[in-house]
Amino acid sequence: MTDTQKANTREPVIFRKWKRCGTIIAIFPAQFGSHELHTCGSYLHVGQHGACAPIGVIAATTPAAPSEYAKLKRELEAEPYCYQFQIFKRYLHSKWYAERQRRLNAITKETRAPWRYEEAAELSHMEGIKL
């Protein structure tokens, strides 16, 4: 991916607030969370990047207001992450599951690897392919 393409790429994100503690979590619905397609990427200030089961997170959180997620958003937009976001309010499981499947198919097609997430993930890191 060229710098121009990267600059024009906006990562889908959903900001939520945990009901129990009020901590803000960023859910990256189009990113892989683990070798399971029903998981996606997430980020917390403490703990940072990790996997989450988005349906469970949505159930245990409420939508975060822009003023509530502003600090976490700035953290993710700064070095070393440099995200540019497309912010979504709702999680539509079928839409994001299909997007993670599409990204997996693009990796396996590009690397000519058999359909196995572990191999695709390893190759994507070695070849700089964004999952």
| For residue 32, pLDDT beyond 50 | yes
Residue 120: predicted pLDDT: 57
Task: Give the model's confidence band at 106: pLDDT under 50 very low, under 70 low, under 90 confident, else very high.
Answer: confident
- Domain ranges, ordered by start, for the chain: 8-127
As a whole number, the mean pLDDT across the chain is 83
Stretch 60-87: mean pLDDT, rounded? 96
Nearest to 38 by CA among 89, 96, 108, 122: 96
Rg (CA), the chain: 15
- Residue with the two structure tokens 């399971």: 36
Q: What is the pLDDT of residues 47-66, one digit of tens each?
A: 889 999 999 999 999 999 99
Q: What is the pLDDT of residues 3-30, one digit of tens each?
A: 544 555 799 999 999 999 999 999 999 9
Q: What sign for the dihedral angle of Cα 117, 46, 55, 68?
A: negative
Would you give the DSSP letter of residue 127? H
Helix axes 93-111, 117-127, angle to 10 degrees: 70
Percent of the chain at pLDDT above 90? 53
- Residue with the two structure tokens 């700089």: 128
- Contact yes or no for 51/33 (Cβ under 8 A): yes
d(CA 66, CA 126): 36
- Whole-model pTM over 0.85: no
